[in-house]
Amino acid sequence: MPTKTLHIPTADGRADAFAAFPERAGRHPGVLMYADGFGLRPALREMACELAGHGYYVLVPNLFYRHGPAPVIELPAHIGEEDRSAVFAQLMPLIEAHTTERVLRDADAYLRFLTTRPEVSVGPVAVTGYCIGGLLAVRTAAAHCGQVAAVAGFHAPVGAAGSDTLSRLTAPVHFGHAESDLTPEALGELNQVLDAAGVDHTSEIYPGTVHGFTMSDTDTFNPTALRLHWDRLLPLLDRALTHG
């Protein structure tokens, strides 16, 4: 699987990023993938390569590039419960500094870079994200309706985007929630917002999951839920970018 380390010009500097794409020559539909709060690391590179194997050019930026190249902080190879407090003590200041204004400035740069890559097909792209990255995916899609053809978020606090932002979504959506993150009542409220706005969506709680279920380098990883994630994500991308 061809991969590259790239640098994306932004309003605030240059963001390092990882890209994976199919071996066959030509142009491929583009996907902007936002990492979870632990950032760009081998587990995210593996997911990008998996998705690229299905025919997509996948770009994963370092969300915290303002603080240095990835990995911005030293992470254990496996992030267990005993590691989380120390890791988040370092990460939370970075996450809190990543304001909505920064998110939207960066999204402009990421989409401009992705859509002008010679390996990427002309036309709309998709945006997907994990944990805080799912919230970023929503904000990106709402701000770039003409460029984003599908949006997905997994174990993501998408409700934090607010009903105004969610109501601006025009692309088909899939949200896969952790059972530990969202009650059925809260899911119903979120889906009511999407329904009222006429957003084409599926939004569901993945059974037996806790926050971070897609991340293979954490103790919250759930391989069954990861397969369900692919079962939901791949058809969404296929409809929006390949046969839309």
Domains of the chain listed by start with CATH number: 3-242 (3.40.50.1820)
The pLDDT of residue 94: 94
The pLDDT of residue 244: 56
The span from the CA of 126 to the CA of 149, in Å, is: 5
Omega cis (within 30) before 61: no
The model's pLDDT over 2-49, given as tens digits with 9 standing for 90+, comes to: 999 999 999 999 999 999 999 999 999 999 999 999 999 999 999 999
Q: 189 in helix, strand or coil? A: helix
The span from the CA of 7 to the CA of 14, in Å, is: 6
The model's pLDDT over 53-71, given as tens digits with 9 standing for 90+, comes to: 999 999 999 999 999 999 9
The model's pLDDT over 185-236, given as tens digits with 9 standing for 90+, comes to: 999 999 999 999 999 999 999 999 999 999 999 999 999 999 999 999 999 9
User: CB burial class (10 A; 0-12, 13-18, 19+) of residue 146?
Assistant: exposed
**Number of residues that this document lists for the chain:** 244
Contacts of 110 (CB under 8 A, 6+ apart): 8, 15, 17, 32, 59, 61, 140
Amino acid occupying residue 76? P
Residue 242 scores a pLDDT above 90: no
Average pLDDT over the chain reads 96
Contacts of 237 (CB under 8 A, 6+ apart): 29, 31, 54, 56, 126, 150
Which token pair is 156?
């993501």
Beta strands, E only, 35-70: 57-61
In order of 38, 68, 93, 120, 225, the CA distances from 83 in angstroms are 12, 22, 17, 38, 23
Structure pTM? 0.97
Residue 124 scores a pLDDT above 90: yes
Q: Which secondary structure element, helix H or strand E, spans residue 6, and what is its range?
A: strand 3-10
The span from the CA of 178 to the CA of 167, in Å, is: 22
Beta strands, E only, 163-238: 173-178, 201-206
